[in-house]
Amino acid sequence: MSNPRILILGPPGAGKGTQSANLAEEYDVQHITTGDALRDNKDMDISDMDTEYDTPREYMEAGDLVPDAVVNAIVEEALSQADGFVLDGYPRNLDQAEELEGMTDLDVILSLEVPREELVERLTGRRVCDDCGANYHVEFNPPEEAGVCDECGGELIQRDDDNEESVRNRLDVFEENTAPVIDHYENRESFVIIDGEQTPDEVWDDIETAVDARVE
């Protein structure tokens, strides 16, 4: 199989990161996320774009939201350097989806679907070690001792954006901005809905089947 170009979509907590890592390993392609692309190209010269700053780094250091035009340019640069990819976290809105049309052709578009209350349970149950960053879940992947990291003995905490109010807000933002992106792709032959409520192994089986059926 030659270097498939894969887009993976889904709400926070759907498992995109896990399955993107599986795809990158199985098909020997690059895992491209917006965050990684920004970090890798933070000193890119954008002085010709009539933006407030001349590099993405200046936006990031100021704590300002990087404009769509800059994100689009950075993603395009990352895609141009990749010999096959799984794109995760972009496009986040319909304007970005339309920009992506001019950057590349997609072989497979995967949409992970998980019921909202399941997502809330997954995200609010996450715990992170305050020392080493190891991840746990109070139900699905608990530590041997409650509140204590198996790896280093550090304290497990709930991140601020994993409390229920923040989680529900993030899901609202996804539904408002990114759901139209899914509508944009859903009638294409390359588009596949994946039941993300299954176990990670079952989800991966369905993803692998979908990719193999669409890429020679």
pLDDT digit string, tens, across residues 102-144: 999 999 999 999 999 999 999 999 999 999 989 899 988 999 9
* Regions of the chain with pLDDT less than 50: none
- Does the annotation mark 92 as catalytic? yes
Please tell me the predicted confidence (pLDDT) of residue 1.
54
Please tell me the predicted confidence (pLDDT) of residue 26.
95
- Does the annotation mark 214 as catalytic? no
Please tell me the predicted confidence (pLDDT) of residue 90.
93
Q: Find out whether 24 and 87 touch, Cβ atoms under 8 Å.
A: no
- Does the annotation mark 16 as catalytic? yes
Spatial neighbors of 5 by CB under 8 A, at least 6 apart, are 29, 84, 85, 87, 104, 105, 106, 107, 108
Please tell me the predicted confidence (pLDDT) of residue 69.
84
Choice among 5, 122, 127, 170 that is catalytic: 170
Choice among 5, 16, 122, 127 that is catalytic: 16
- Does the annotation mark 42 as catalytic? no
Choice among 92, 116, 168, 214 that is catalytic: 92
pTM of the full structure = 0.85
Among 178, 127, 157, CA closest to 16: 178
- Does the annotation mark 122 as catalytic? no
